[in-house]
Amino acid sequence: MRASGSERHPGNVAGPWFVDRRCIDCDATRQVAPDLFTRVDRQSVVTRQPTTPAEEERMWRAALACPTKSVRRDPPQPRPPGLYPHEFADGVAYCGYNSPDSYGANSFLVRRPAGNVLVDSPRFVRPLVDHVAAHGGLAHVLLTHRDDVADAERWAQRFGARVWIHRADADAAPFATDVVDGDEPVEVQPELVLVPCPGHTRGSVLFLLEDRFLFTGDSLYWSRTHEDLAVHVRQTWYSLDVQLASLARVAEEHRFSAVLAGHGSRHETTREDMHDRLVALVDRHRADG
Ligand code: SF4
């Protein structure tokens, strides 16, 4: 009999929480609760059942982040309210509810005096929509590249938000209001800049907020394995050489202390440390040829 995918992965530890076989290995659970999940045969499994209220909360956050709803509990329990968006730094929150349409990419909500901003798109779900509606709506939806559009149109329509994307990826978001050309930075709001970064896709861009937070889409991420900045070499769809040139230019022209990725972990350190790591990353890959 063919498996439906809803059965437990045999690698899960015994207990109520488990991951089923529909997991697409997007990594979101392992970012949210690295102490409770690991990777086995290119899928996530539960390695330890939560035993404290904080761990229970992290498990629920992981379950709500999962794009395939693969993190489940038997017997079921009512989900706790208010877990997303999860603010982790001044006005910047992780949305959770990663979408299968973006292969489970992370998205972020930023509270701003000039109007709130969504970076890439989570699922258009009631708990998030209600939160955004109760906290000032949305002024802008910022798309880092063509792969992470997901429910952006629904978010933009619901809140009358402008939608930004680079021309080279704009066919993925024909509803966009602000299509950016060329390779020069463009101001979206005061202290919020779109920085073209072709490479992962032709139209990939970064969004730099307050010379601190760099929203990178799939152009750059923090590797938990190497505890360093990294690029998705095998998932570079356009050109790794072009991507390295783009990142070298970012290191020359911009400063940031936090990297917030679509796929991959986020991390904050000092601006100097980020700069040095980015330069070293580019040099390392160029030396590898
Ligand atoms: S979030 Fe879901 S799909 Fe992604 S790795 Fe975790 S269990 Fe798998």
> How many angstroms separate the CA atoms of 65 and 63, rounded?
5
The span from the CA of 8 to the CA of 30, in Å, is 17
With contact defined as beta carbons under 8 Å apart, do 22 and 7 qualify? no
Find the radius of gyration of the CA atoms of the chain.
19
Residue 64 neighbours by CB under 8 Å, 6+ apart: 79, 83, 84, 96, 97
Residue ranges of alpha helices (H) inside 33-162 are 53-65, 126-134, 152-159
Are the beta carbons of 226 and 209 closer than 8 angstroms? Answer: no
Say yes or no: 63 and 191 in one domain: no
Three-class SS of residue 229?
Answer: strand
**Does residue 114 sit within a domain?**
yes
Do 120 and 201 lie in a common domain? yes
Site to probe by mutation for ligand 1, drawn from 8, 17, 21, 27 as the one with most ligand atoms within 8 Å of Cβ, is 27
Q: Which structural domain range is residue 202 located in?
A: 86-288
Whether residues 103 and 150 fall in one domain: yes
pLDDT at site 2: 41
CA dist 246 and 242 (Å) reads 6
Please, which residues have CB within 8 angstroms of residue 89's CB and are 6 or more apart in sequence? 213, 258, 268
- pLDDT score recorded for residue 4: 73
Is the domain of 52 the same as that of 175?
Answer: no
Q: Three-state SS for 30?
A: helix
Q: Are 119 and 107 in contact (CB under 8 A)?
A: yes
* Mutational pocket test of ligand 1: of 6, 20, 25, 59, the residue with most ligand atoms within 8 Å of the beta carbon: 25
Same domain for 155 and 283, yes or no, is: yes
Write down the pLDDT at residue 269: 98
Task: Express as a percent the part of the chain with pLDDT over 90.
Answer: 96
Contacts of 16 (CB under 8 A, 6+ apart): 49, 73, 74, 75
What's the gap between Cα 195 and its chain centre? Answer: 17
Same domain, 42 and 116: no
Average pLDDT, integer, range 150-174: 98
66 with 102, same domain: the answer is no
Which of 22, 26, 45 to probe ligand 1 with, by most ligand atoms within 8 A of CB? 26
Domain count, the chain: 2
CATH number at residue 282: 3.60.15.10
Cβ(114)–Cβ(139) under 8 Å?
yes
Res 1 pLDDT > 60: no
Cα torsion 185, 190, 191, 193 to 10°: value is: -20
Residue 109: phi and psi, rounded to 5, are: -115, 130
Is the pLDDT at 100 greater than 60? The verdict is yes
Note whether 56 and 92 are same-domain residues: no
- Quote the ligand 1 centre to 277 CA distance (angstroms): 28
Q: Can you tell me the distance from the alpha carbon of 204 to that of 219, in angstroms, rounded to the nearest whole number?
A: 7
pLDDT in tens, 129-153: 999 999 999 999 999 999 999 999 9
Residue 6 in domain: no
Å from CA of 276 to ligand 1 middle: 32
What residue has token string 């930023």?
110
In the block, which residue shows the tokens 């329509």?
157
Q: How many CB atoms lie under 10 A from the CB of residue 137? A: 13
Report the alpha-carbon distance of residue 281 to residue 238 in Å, rounded. 19
Q: Please check the confidence at residue 25 and state whether its pLDDT lies above 60.
A: yes
pLDDT confidence tier of residue 257, bands split at 50, 70 and 90: very high
Binned at pLDDT 50, 70 and 90, residue 116 comes out as: very high
Tell me, yes or no, whether 50 and 191 share the same domain: no
- Separation CA 49–CA 93 (nearest Å): 26
What pLDDT shows up at residue 22? 96
How many Å separate Cα 133 from the centre of its chain?
22
Residue 204 lies in a domain: yes
